[in-house]
Chains A and B, each alone.
Chain A
Amino acid sequence: MILDAAVYLSAGVAALATLLMIFQKNPVKAAMLMLTALLATAGMYLAFSAQLLAVLQVIIYGGAIMTLFIVALSVTPQAWKDKPVPGRAVRVLGLAAAAVLLTELLQVSTVLRAASAAPGFSETGTLAIAMNLFGRFAFQFELLSLVILASIVGAVALASRRTAP
């Protein structure tokens, strides 16, 4: 009973924060609302007793990614004044992209609803995740690190430009 209430409460907070974020014009405030949504999602994981997922959500999304986001946003001049209203073409494009995303989400949600009814969904132990990451999907996992390598090379290239003649 209490857990159900916690799930619905954090899901509601997440949905509300996301909506507010979309209509928020100030980038830093929008980022803070996104952080709220991410933390509420972590709360939802916790109510589903997926502790590891909840903690990782907070460490990676809340602690690392959003921090970098917010710091980067706050040094852009945009963060200090209201955004100019985008042109009509941009608005139509944005709406179209949102519609595509929504249909995709609806499609996926029917599949997920069927999956969650299956037993054993709530058991996400640290060991089970580790077994999958470093056993079954080790190759894919290591392949992903190439993305990080690319970003490191990019960062070095950007940083060294200042000292180059």
Chain B
Amino acid sequence: MIEFFEANKDILLFTLAAGLKVLVFMGGIMGFAALLTLAERKVSALMQDRVGPNRASVFGFAFNGLFHPIADAIKMIMKEDFVPGRAEKLLFTLAPFFALVPVLALFAVIPFGDYVMVFGYQLDLQIADLPLGLFLVLALSGMAIYGVFLAGWASKNNFALLGAMRGAAQMVSYEVVLGLTLVGLLMIYGSANLQDMVRAQGRLLFGAVPAWGVVLQPFAFILFLIAAIAENKRTPFDLVEGESEIIGYFMEYSSMRFAAFMFAEFVEIILVSMLAATLFFGGWQVPYLYETGFIFPGGSALPLDHYLVSALQVGSFSVKTVFFSWFLLVVRWTLPRFRFDQLMGLCWKALLPLALLNILLTGAALVALGKL
């Protein structure tokens, strides 16, 4: 028995570390997504000068609505799980999984920190260190379309199918833009590994400005943000569902099946925020913070403990994620919805040429600077 452990020590340790990281990171994301469902309503209440949900309480303590996500979960589980008689049962059941699983799988490639030394072992703060992480992001986000489409088609309901068609057209179109905006990043970082990309953003430009993606590719960042919100199917691009007047693809869904679609939307908010932070805002990088501590441009230094540095880096990533999540919530309650022709026109006639132009300019700049 002991020999077996000795012989397979590396694999066992790797599995244990990966399992731990999945538990902690995914647990954190699930908790944050649940809080976002409350934050969404609180932000809307704030914008509309209301109080928002504040009634769910435990032993009389409401904490201004903190228990609402739990109450919602209980409500969703207790509701009737209805399947229309004409629906395609198997695909109808599979659709929520198609919507949620690819999005959750994507978190595996996102680095949430550099590394920590635990009992002499180097623990990378990333679940899967894949050389083609960025491509995996594109591949799996493409899979999310099937969740929308299957939900609409399998319901055998004309309105649901219409929503699904709108959704598929929108997501396919904006995915092209999303992919093209990321080409510029690939060109400047020279790697598709997200951890490498974050490390590359730790450099300094002119000895003072952090070489974050947003500094090097400001144009791509704006395009990425627009395309990502469209991929996320949130206002102003919510023609896929449009709760109040357009009927959406999941209209035949109820109970936890519906909750899976709704939860997927909030998990996607976190994913978009984390991707924006990782690709354009230095990921876990803190300006002027290196492995040994702060080294400021003037030359003054502040040495810090390894664990403090790691905590600061994970904290920095969390703060960036929370900021972008808040930003996406605010966008939803600020902008009105596009018309469908405006949506398609924006994508194919404005964003796509601009994304191509960005690639061209990036290439020209790289050649001019002699970096190619």
Contact = CB atoms under 8 A, between A and B. Distances in A.
Contacts of A56: 135
A87 B145 CA distance: 36
Interface residues of A, number: 21
B149 A70 contact: yes
Nearest to B134: A55
B145 A67 contact: yes
Interface of B: 88, 91, 130-132, 135-136, 138-140, 142-143, 145-146, 149-150, 153, 161, 164-165, 168-169, 172, 175, 192
A74 B160 CA distance: 12
Contact of A59 (B142, B146, B153, B172): B142
Contacts of B136: 55
A7 interface: no
A64 interface: yes
Nearest to A58: B139
Contacts of A55: 132, 135-136, 138-139
A149 to B, nearest CB: 15
Interface string A38-70: 000000000000011001101100111001101
B4 to A, nearest CB: 15
Main secondary structure of the interface of B (DSSP, over half): helix
Residue of B153, B161, B169, B175 ringed by the most chain A CB atoms within 10 A: B153
A58 B143 contact: yes
A132 interface: no
Interface string A9-39: 0000000000000000000110010010000
Residue of B91, B146, B150 ringed by the most chain A CB atoms within 10 A: B146
A46 B142 CA distance: 18
Contact of B168 (A29, A51, A71, A79): A71
A55 B140 CA distance: 9
Given A52-B135, A71-B165, A64 B153 contact: no
Given A63-B139, A75-B165, A126 B132 contact: yes
B139 A67 contact: no
Nearest to B192: A126
Nearest to B152: A74
A63 to B, nearest CB: 3
A29 B132 CA distance: 31
A67 B131 contact: no
A67 B172 contact: yes
